[in-house]
Amino acid sequence: MTKKYPVLFLLLLLFGVQTSFGQHSQVTNMGNVVSVKTDQQKITLKTENAYADITVYTPSVIRVRIDNKPFQPDFSYAVVGKVMPSKVSISQNDNTIDVLTDSLRMVIHKKPFSVAFYTTGGKLINEDETGLTTSWVNQAVTTYKKMQDGEHFVGLGEKTGNLDRKGQGYTNWNSDVYAYNTAMDPLYSTIPFYIGIHHDVNYGIFLDNTYQSDFNFGASNNRFSSFGARGGEMNYYFIYHKRLADIITSYTYLTGRMPLPPMWALGYQQNRYSYYPETEVMRIAHTMRENHIPADGITLDIHYMDRYQLFTWNKSRFPDPAGMNAELRKLGFRTTVIVDPGIKVEKGAPAYESGLKEGIYIKYPDGQPYTGEVWPGWCNFPDFTSVKGREWWHKQVDFFAKSGVSGIWNDMNEFSTWGQKAPDNILFDYDGRQTTHLEAHNVFGMQMVRASYEGAKEKFGERPFILSRSGYAGLQRYSAIWTGDNRAEDDHMLLGVRLLNSLGLSGVSFTAMDIGGFVGSPSIPLYTRWMQIGAFIPYFRNHSASDTKSAEPWTFGKDALDVTRSYINLRYQLLPYLYSTFYESSANGIPVMRSLAINYTFDPKVLTAAFQNQYQFGSAFMVTPFESTRDFGKIYLPEGTWYDLYTGAQEQGKQEKIIPLTINKLPIYVKGGSIIPMQSLIQTTAEQPTDTLAIHVYNGNSANTFVYYEDDGKTFNYQKGDFYKRLIMFDPVKHTLTFDKAEGSYKSHFKYIKLIMHGFEQSASLQAGNDKFQLQDGQFAFLGTAAADSPYPTENCVVKYTTISNNTERIQLNY
């Protein structure tokens, strides 16, 4: 055509170039504001090309909702928080609308539409990029934000790469990525929430849109950061607080917080693809006990099923599942089983026929159920976005309750099929809104775990444990999440640390990675190091693939067994601290595993690649993981006083330090002022510790508080006040350690408190009113006493200690 009609071609080309920037261009901006309506905490706007609603959700959260057509009825799978009545001042003139709360100020420009956010003192927090703001290219909508000088970005959930996202771009489309590399994107889940940091301010942005979404933090440009979706509304929540931790709290106010898990789920879990038959499962359980390795869970992968069909047991491998699970419980083990969403198309199969009869499968436009191939063969898939589909799943969960199962592991729920190309035209109910796969895909996994949680909560008669590979913002209300099919490599181990830290920054606290790596066999040092780290992550699960070396702790030799067992022992002694930290997370959303960016946000060193793998485990511990091959490592101690966990040696913060690395010891530091409750060693959470609770107190220059928490660890009675909660306060200025009056109706497990004081060399006694308690000199070994033939010496901290009665009244001790 170009050879025959060169002039016409040039005219068409010229016309195309002109229209690409003209009134009918493919890029549509919002244009000027043409009408404004205000109503208490809400502003309704119409622009030349769009509609906008601005809602003050709380004094610190403002919702911005934009579409290029009139709004559909409001709906969200993620947001459960309600608009909070707030003091809001709204004023306007010909050019701007000013919105002022107690926490921030928003300015809406009219010509053209754009928004900017400021502190109440007038400092810029975030603003639209002039000339770009929000626009559409076909059905895709994107909002462009001006990139501030020195701006950094963290969060966005399960994303590879560095802790600081600056210079990178990411896509959210839940994907099955077996043996993914350390730069792979996207992975399994979608959490479109990030936190921006610059000039001593921080803010959060949550894009609530389940279509494929894209985030750009300066990738391929030096002008803007942006976020957008391939369809639907521009619907985001802007969050501002002075502290990053409070941003997470507000985000989880919107999207919900995790319920307290069962106590057994915080113990060590042994898994493999796959343990079968029953005799092998029992062998693993008995060998754990014979080797005195504390453990609470065994997980069964797909080989427990009959030909991989859901809601079945392979009767030749597991002739009496309920009996087996009862025997495991006697040994102190709970059983978790895997489930996939695909229901095998097989006439006469109860689950398949029931789903067909009740019409719960996702469908093509012509009404035929969508069929995709996975482990059992060709399958139909329940529509978890429909009430009917979720209620059907609830009923199926009764199968596991009758089998004595305690946990449900939801896999393949991205959702995954062989070929990984589920068609766009699959129809979903989307809770009465009817939509296609394009909008429903990213929320499928979250709604599956919702159905699993609701069904298990109803059928199990106690707190269930739910684990998922996929999800969307708000998944924390129903499930823990793990990072999928990782590899047995050092860089994957450290990537896993960053993935869990990023999930924590994004509101998901109960997280895991496959310890030891799923794909491939780890070396002895790598396995040992990974198990040490595993003791300091929220969900501690060892998992490996069927074609790899067995990965139980005793399979790597005696030295590795001794080291890994000592760290599992330590985790079980720390369960009072860990359970209390989980309680804190359930109350305020602050994760158990905490990137240093949470508490040291404006310290530039914590965002650098050199120190990005360091993290806090609760408020007390700082874990500094390194590759198993390293002999030395550089760490960074943030502001404050820090103690070496094993020796008690003190270090001052704001310094870098090169430390020797040995495979028997994971470098861990304790922050001055910390309060750490510990118990005696147990082999399973079904076993009771002794009646003395040890409270380790570390001297420091800053006051600190710790909320100690107990309940039965099994039921939901804590929601009715059946708990034991106590605030413990350390004040270095007043020289006091105070136990506030206990709250709740639950009776503590512990009759006595043993106070173990670190860094109190000058103190000889504690005074409580007229009572005086002499402090004894002693030593404490966090990893216990080394075996006589161990190549590693025992390390001790020098401490002072005394024991007091654990009554429920207020106790103030002066030192």
SS3 615: strand
Q: Does 320 qualify as catalytic in the annotation? A: no
In 171-295, which ranges are continuous DSSP H helix?
Answer: 244-255, 278-290
Contact 441, 173 (CB under 8 A): yes
- Amino acid identity, residue 419? G
Residue where the block lists tokens 């001006």:
146
**Per-residue tokens: 713:** 């660890």
CA distance 20 to 41: 38
Using alpha carbons, select from 609, 656, 604, 662 the residue that is nearest to residue 632: 662
**Per-residue tokens: 780:** 């404490």
SS3 795: coil
The torsion angles phi and psi of 292, rounded to 5 degrees, stand at 55, 45
**Based on the number of CB atoms within 10 Å of its own CB, is 485 exposed (0-12), middle (13-18) or buried (19 or more)?**
buried
Can you count the helices (H) and strands (E) in the chain?
12, 53
Contact 620, 670 (CB under 8 A): yes
Burial 174-204 (b: 16+ CB within 10 A, else e): bbbbeebebeebbbbbbbbbbbbbbeebbbb
CA distance 234 to 534: 39
Any idea what DSSP says for residue 348? Answer: T
Contact 174, 442 (CB under 8 A): yes
Using alpha carbons, select from 511, 2, 61 the residue that is nearest to residue 265: 511
CA distance 388 to 605: 51
Q: Does 414 qualify as catalytic in the annotation? A: yes
CA distance 724 to 744: 5
CA distance 314 to 369: 27
Neighbours of 527 (CB within 10 A): 28
Q: Does 454 qualify as catalytic in the annotation? A: no
CA distance 702 to 699: 9
If you count them, how many residues does the chain have? 815
To which H or E segment does residue 541 belong? strand 541-542
Collect all residues with Cβ–Cβ distance below 8 Å to 807 and sequence separation of at least 6.
Answer: none
Q: Which of 158, 233, 411, 489 is catalytic?
A: 411
Q: Which of 429, 485, 490, 552 is catalytic?
A: 485
- Amino acid identity, residue 654? K
To which H or E segment does residue 337 belong? strand 334-339
Any idea what DSSP says for residue 429? Answer: -
User: From the centroid of its chain, how far is CA 416?
Assistant: 22
CA distance 697 to 674: 6
Phi-psi region at 809: left, alpha or beta (left = phi > 0; alpha = psi -120 to 50): beta
**Based on the number of CB atoms within 10 Å of its own CB, is 557 exposed (0-12), middle (13-18) or buried (19 or more)?**
exposed
Using alpha carbons, select from 746, 645, 757 the residue that is nearest to residue 696: 757
Contact 629, 619 (CB under 8 A): no
Using alpha carbons, select from 20, 52, 247 the residue that is nearest to residue 133: 52
Any idea what DSSP says for residue 445? Answer: H
Contact 116, 157 (CB under 8 A): no
Q: Which of 164, 296, 414, 454 is catalytic?
A: 414
User: From the centroid of its chain, how far is CA 34?
Assistant: 43
CA distance 408 to 463: 12
SS3 764: coil
CA distance 43 to 643: 52
Q: Which residues are catalytic?
A: 411, 414, 485
